[in-house]
Amino acid sequence: MAVSDKAIGTSVTDKYDIGEAMCPYRLVLEHVTSRWGVLVLIELLERPYRFSELRRAIGRVSEKMLTQTLQTLERDGFVHRDAKPVIPPRVDYSLTDLGREAAEQVKALAIWTSERMADVDKSRRAYDEARALKARA
């Protein structure tokens, strides 16, 4: 184990019956929408990256989490890992066709979200203010 988490075990359920039990596709969805998964996919949408290069580009990600994220995405077939047997080691990461499709959707969601931040902030302030009033009861 190590890479696969507790991902195995579930398997069937044909159609996408949103909700109800833990359907396997939900795990994949969590992989691509995970904290670092999102950033990795979006970054790789630009061009291939080497490990450390990707680490710097994302910033604030530990080696462990980046490794783990990349392995998960590679296993799911979203990321291609190209390790050259040279010294010092050189490993390039890039998106597969499948990964590119995923990355584009994720990026669209990310962009939509950042565009709507003003609305969200406004809503939050209203919410917090309403709460503050109630607190003075």
Residues at the contact surface with its own copies, assessed by CB under 8 A: 3-4, 15-16, 18-26, 28-30, 32-33, 35, 38-39, 42-43, 57-60, 74-77, 98, 101-102, 105-117, 119-124, 127-128, 131
Per-residue x/- marks for DNA, 79-98, CB under 7 A? --x-x----xxxx-x-----
Q: Does 129 bind DNA (CB under 7 A)?
A: no
Helix, strand, coil percent content, the chain, rounded in steps of 5 = 60, 10, 30
Count CB-CB contacts under 10 A for residue 61: 18
| Cis preceding-peptide flag for 89 (omega within 30 of 0) | no
Helices (H), 6-116: 24-33, 35-46, 51-58, 63-75, 97-115
59 binds, options its own copies, DNA, none, Cβ within 5 to 8 A by partner type: its own copies
Q: How many residues at the interface with DNA, by CB under 7 A?
A: 27
**Least distance CB 114 / its own copies (angstroms):** 4
Helix, strand, or coil (residue 48)? coil
Cα 82 from Cα 84, distance rounded (Å): 6
Report the interface residues with DNA, using CB under 7 A: 2, 5-6, 34-36, 50-53, 60-65, 67-68, 70-71, 81, 83, 88-91, 93
